[in-house]
Amino acid sequence: MKHYNTSYNNFSKSEKEKIIRKLYLQDKKSFADIAEQYGTYSNKIRRDAKSFNIPIRDKSLAQKNALQSGKHKHPTKGKERSAEDKQKIGLGVLQSWDSLDDIELEKRKEKSKELWNKLDQDTKDNMIRLANQAVRVTSKLGSKLEKFLLNCLLKDGFKIDFHKEQTLTNTKLQIDLFIPSISTAIEVDGPSHFLPVWGDDVLARNISYDQKKQGLILGKGWVLIRVKQTKDFSKSRGLIIYNQLFQILDQIKTKFPSPDNRTFTIED
């Protein structure tokens, strides 16, 4: 690095512009670095940069440059968080989202629409294609929430049939999670079960399948628990849902419900 003995105030306007363009734009120095080198204040360097129409880096880019240069250390890199810490962070984010009022939620939805509309058509088509593939895989292998609930149930000692065909005799309809010991079926219904995500025809077909499945399950004298998933999966939301599910299962184990009270609904 070239060091200057002259004070910043002694340079001409053109010399100041040349210095800032060289150190700030090319060498990625911060205003504070430049000010320290020339014995002045960072705000003065910033004001001059604006007057020279030099583009000011946003905060995230400035932080990135500081990390790459080794001036600052990443606050979390190399640190392992415990499961408890991760859960607390997740719950904090969840509570933050849940506390948003309707106006703020609508603003965020509009922002998402703007970002989507700015994408080129090829990117949109590829994202839709990948989403359709994910839906097809989920229908066969189970969604993230289904797998999360499965793991929680197994850890708590339940024997589970997971997406097993022929559970409902003479049909290919699968029950998402079935607990034979207490004759309880658990169905995890994503948005496509109650919203026209893939169009009205698909929604009508899904509703028809759900009604048929419900009739077969209740007709066998089993209990049906429907988990209505309205939001994207997260472990924090999964834990909240599982706690509700566990309480219902505990009630069923204690006293099997009467025929007119064998359907339960959990909504995230």
Query: Is 1 part of any domain?
Result: no
CA distance 29 to 43: 14
Q: What is the pLDDT of residue 97?
A: 56
The predicted pLDDT at position 2 comes to: 47
Residue 152 is encoded by which pair of tokens? 């929680």
Q: Write down the pLDDT at residue 119.
A: 82
User: pLDDT of the chain along its 268 residues, tens only?
Assistant: 445 456 788 889 999 999 999 988 888 888 888 888 888 888 899 899 999 999 888 766 556 665 666 555 655 555 666 655 655 655 565 556 566 677 876 777 788 778 878 888 888 777 767 665 655 555 555 588 999 999 999 999 999 998 877 667 666 778 899 999 999 999 999 888 888 877 788 888 888 988 999 999 999 999 999 999 888 888 888 999 999 999 999 999 999 999 999 999 998 7
Q: What is the pLDDT of residue 93?
A: 55
* Dihedral angle sign, alpha carbons of residues 162, 167, 173, 175: negative
119 contacts 126 by C-beta, under 8 angstroms: no
Whether residues 262 and 166 share a domain: the answer is yes
Q: Determine the pLDDT at residue 98.
A: 61
* pTM of structure: 0.53
Verify that 148 and 132 share a domain, yes or no: no
Q: Which domain holds residue 59?
A: 11-69
3-state secondary structure of 84: helix
Q: Is residue 263 part of a domain?
A: yes
SS3 267: strand
Residue 217 within any structural domain of the chain: yes
Pair 200, 260 in one domain:
yes
Shared domain for 63 and 88, answered yes or no, is no
* 127 plus 45 within the same structural domain: no
Q: How far is CA 128 from the centre of its chain?
A: 18
Query: How far is the C-alpha of 248 from the C-alpha of 177, rounded, in Å?
Result: 15
| Total structural domains within the chain | 3
In this structure, are 51 and 92 located in the same domain?
no
Which residues have C-beta within 8 Å of that of residue 266, sequence separation ≥ 6? 225, 226, 227, 228, 241, 244, 245, 248
Task: Give a yes or no: residue 45 inside a domain.
Answer: yes
Please indicate, yes or no, whether residues 90 and 146 belong to a single structural domain of this protein.
no
Same domain, 111 and 45: no
**Is the same domain home to 41 and 120?**
no
78, part of any domain: no
Q: Locate 93 and state its tokens.
A: 């984010």
